[in-house]
Amino acid sequence: MAEKSYFYGLGRRKEATATARLYAGKGNITINGRTAAEYLSNNQALEAALTDPLALVEKQKDFDITILVKGGGISGQVDAIKLAIAKALASINDDLKGSLSKAGYLRRDSRMVERKKYGLRGARKREQFSKR
């Protein structure tokens, strides 16, 4: 039986869903067919956050990563990608799974936007109260 050529991970955050495939390579990251810098509009902070799980296990230059992401905004997408990469790394080796888990990269952030309520301007904002 042939060995699997990549490692897979799925991540979600808010309304964003990301799938990551890690191939043996030189550290190139592709998001929806574009380079990470191009997709994130050269936002250095988001690019750095994207590779946090890789930096923790010191494997930035060991894998080429292909990511498909949809839904949500750019911040939620980056968090979903981080979780997907961390899950893919965890599937490689139990030692990596332990260190990623301790750092909190394998836990989904479950916070979501609260829904708008009937009769209010938003989730909680009300009209100003008038006594008379």
Q: What is the pLDDT of residues 10-41, one digit of tens each?
A: 999 999 999 999 999 998 999 999 999 999 99
Domain 6-103 architecture: 2-Layer Sandwich (3.30)
CB neighbours of residue 25 within 10 Å: 13
How much is the pLDDT for 2?
52
pTM score: 0.89
Contact 94, 101 (CB under 8 A): no
Contact 9, 87 (CB under 8 A): yes
Return d(Cα 71, Cα 12) in angstroms, integer: 10
Return d(Cα 20, Cα 18) in angstroms, integer: 7
Helix (H) / strand (E) containing 36: helix 36-39
